[in-house]
Structures are given as C-alpha cells and as structure tokens.
Amino acid sequence: MAEVHLSLSTSHEYCLSPLIFAFIDCFRCRSIETVLEEFHSGAESSFSRLEELLGDCIRTFMDSDLYQDDVRFLKIWILYADVTQDVEKVYLEMEDKQIGISHSLLYEAFAFLMESKGDLVEALSFYQLGISRKAEPLERLKKMHKLFLNRISDFVDSCSNKNQKSYINPWATSTIQDILQKIDKNILKYDVRYLKGFHRSLKKYAGKVPLNSLHTSSRNKVIELGGRKYQIKGCSGQGAFARVYKAFENSNPDDVVALKDAINSYLVTGHCMEEELCIYYTLEMLHMLETLHSVGIIHGDFKPDNLLVRYARGDLTEEEFIGRKGAWHDQVDTYCLCVITHMMLHGTYMEIEKKPSSDGSYHYQPKSSLKRYWKVDLWKNLFSTLLNSSSHGNNPVVLQSLRETFEDHVCGDSQMIRKLKQLLVKQRASLCSS
C-alpha cells in the first residue's frame, strides 16, 4: 500500500502510514485508501465519501481504550478535522475522549489548521496547551512553536515595511520578554504558562454539580475542576462571553473582591465612599496605569468589574505608599480612571462639560461639583489633567506626577493613614465575612 500524504497547510505535510489501517477491517481499509487516492487526484465526488468513511471509522473506535493513545488513530482524527473544516468541534470531541493528548502531533496539527484558517490566537493557544502538558516529543513541539512565532513576526514586520510605519510586533518573543523585563524582571522567573492567570483546558466537565445550576443558585456549592475543589461564593459579574464566579480553593478564604463590589456596597445604602478610601483606590489605579503605560500597554477595558481589591493581612503603614517603581491612545484608560473615581466620590456616572478658559481655549471637567470639605485641589488637579491630556507618549510621566501628588498627600497626614486603616478593616469585614 502506498503512503498517503495529508496536507495540513501550504507548507506542511503529514504522512499517514499504511499501518494506520491495521486495526480497521479490510472493507474500511480498502474504502478509505481508494477514496483518499480519488480525493488527491481531484475527483469531486470523493470529498463527501471520504468525510463519511472517516466519520464512520471514528464513531466505531472512539470509545475503545485500545486506540485512545494510538498515534495512528490520532492521524485519522486529524484527517477528519481537515476534511470537515469543523476544527473546534472535532477537537472538543477528542478532548472529551482523551484522544492522543500525550502526543505533540495533536497540538502541532491543530495549530496548523487554525493558522490556515487565519485564527492566530487559537493557533498559539494550541502550542501553549501542548507545551504545558509536556506532550511528546516536546522539543519538536517547542521548535514548531518558535517557528510559528517567527512566521507571525516576519508577517507583521513585512506589513510594517509596506506601510512605512513603525509597529511593535506583539507575537515576537523579544517583545514579550522585553515588556515583562521592564515591568519586573522577577516575573521572568515564573513558568510562562502561569503568567496568563489561568490554565486552559477543553476537557469536558465531569463533576457532580451541574455547571448550568450555577446560573440560578451558586452560593457555597463545591465543584471539582482539574483535580481541585472550589467552593463557590457567588457570581461576581457577567461579561460578554461568560460569567465570573468568586470561589475559595479547598475552602481556604482569600480576601479579594472586585472594586465594583466595594462601590456597590455604598450605593445600595444611598451613601458614597469615604474620601480617604477614594484617595487610596485612586492612588492604586494611578500606579497600575503608570506601570502599564510605561511599557507601552493600553488596558482598554479599565473598569471596576476588572479591578480586584486584595485586603492586606497586616497593618497599613506609610512605607506601603513610597519606594514603588514603577484615535484614542492612553486616554482610553485615563478617562476610565476618572469615571471610576467619580463613581466612588459621587455615586453616579461621570458627565463632563466643555468650559471656556481665560486664554480663549476650552477645557473639560466633570459636571458634578466637589464638596467644600473634600481635598478640592487634589481632585481638581486629577480631573483637569487627565480629561484634558493629549500627551501621546508622555502619559506615564503625567501619571507618575499625579501618583506622587497623591502619595505625598497620604504620607503627609498620619491621621489619614490611621483612618484609612480603620475603613479598610471595616470594608473587608463587610464584604468578605459572609
């Protein structure tokens, strides 16, 4: 029997050994071999016949433990995914049946398929998933991952040259390493797959508690994921694609809440957050954006739902505020910071108005007035600077200056630090004790 070649992309081929049919009865063997030859010769009718035969083969043997980790059966699945073009659905079935998950060929082939469809993000995720699982041969997979990044890097560079503009290539390993090094060189000591903050798995959930039951009642339910138990404390929010739940791993409490929850805890009682807390959280947000913008990263979705508050275990001291290192461009983030700060101070969404200046120009400011007993100069400087900024590259310097102004204010008032500590302890008890 002649070898059959399956082309997964324009520049990559995989060899389907004749032994791939050894575990299939002779009728299927002859049929698949014949149709494959017709398919590669260009016969139009062979396409649907090949899809039908491959599907029949998979359905017959997919539940057999004998072929679960057999690379020959894995190649049949890959061929089926390529023929049907329903790559995601086929892969989910393979994950469910645990077909070939220890072979690097699985991740390499599906990465090629996704790349051929133009879905570069999913292609990258397949490489990362295979490497995180230490699929064998691992070195080959790492090599193919590096070649993938180089291909994308070359593509982006060529586009940059054509447009005669300077672009940063986000796919380049050097870009990723450079950004992490600038933020904190110690980050590079961690395994790169944990920097994402999650472990990707498409394996079908097999826990005792149905996940769809969390939509109606989630509080204190215990679910098992990836060999670990999580006690669900409730739904923290719902985005465009999924709900986010707060959970304790192995029932160990971790005093973390979304800033949205802290703000809402005041709004439901008709009150606004104390100014000391507003100053504290604004200072922290300034530090976040200063860190991101200083290395060229724009968050793009800076809002209370996406900001987590981790309450300190020990005492709050002055040292915590000092010695830190730290179309629309950067303004998309700084405007959102103003919106959040306004929400904390006033309990309402920020509306802005255009006011004439003494020099004949205009400036923007919030419509809501600041209370006389607040730190008016501090807040006026913040809103005026960020709502009228057009720094384009000087943004980190502006954020640093504002952040230092807030730090100087906090550190210069020992009574405020004591009151802030009391308020944080009270807020933590209110939001984390239930």
Active-site residues, by number, are 301
Asked if 282 and 334 touch (Cβ cutoff 8 Å), the reply is no
Asked if 396 and 286 touch (Cβ cutoff 8 Å), the reply is no
- State how far the Cα of 256 lies from the Cα of 247, in Å rounded to an integer: 10
Residue with tokens 């900024």: 389
Asked if 341 and 378 touch (Cβ cutoff 8 Å), the reply is no
Spell out the long-range contacts of 344-351 with Cβ–Cβ below 8 A and sequence spacing 24 or more. 344/263, 344/272, 344/273, 344/277, 344/278, 344/281, 344/282, 345/272, 345/273, 345/275, 345/278, 345/370, 345/374, 345/379, 346/272, 347/266, 347/267, 347/271, 347/272, 347/273
Q: What is the DSSP string of 106-126?
A: HHHHHHHHHHHTT-HHHHHHH
Residue with tokens 């029949």: 56
Sign of the C-alpha dihedral computed for residues 96, 100, 102 and 104 taken in this order: negative
Residue type, 27: F
